[in-house]
Amino acid sequence: QVQLVESGGGLVQPGGSLRLSCVPSRSFYSISGMGWYRQAPGKQREVVATTVLSDSTVYADSVKGRFTMSRDNAKNTVYLQMNSLKPEDTAVYYCNARVGGSDYWGKGTLVTVSS
């Protein structure tokens, strides 16, 4: 199993930036893939960015060019840098890890984009 702890959410104005962090309870080397998902009020959870840790990252069309997923191996942390935020980016953002064919989720962090 793996526990995931997200942080970095908050209230930001349209056009602003936020950086989300996710710390897994085990090393990246034991995790086959990680990703960020989001769920807006009244909507289904959707993928934002996913990566197989030895491969490239795939982004949702709605965030391409604005969001960047990265990792810091020394800190065992995955980030989601979000720029040019829009009101429609408002959602609870969840970190996901895939280990041994099973998916694990953090509790989520709320991002609100509003003036």
CA dihedral 90, 10, 58, 3 (to 10 degrees): -120
pLDDT at 56: 83
Band of residue 30 on the pLDDT scale cut at 50, 70, 90:
confident
The overall average pLDDT reported for the chain is 94
Band of residue 54 on the pLDDT scale cut at 50, 70, 90:
low
pLDDT > 90: percent of the chain: 82
Q: Does the structure show a pLDDT above 60 at 63?
A: yes
Mean pLDDT over 56-76 rounds to: 93
Q: Could you tell me which residue, 87 or 53, shows the higher pLDDT? A: 87
pLDDT at 55: 66
Mean pLDDT over 55-77 rounds to: 92
Instruction: With beta carbons less than 8 A apart as the criterion, state whether 63 and 73 touch.
Output: no
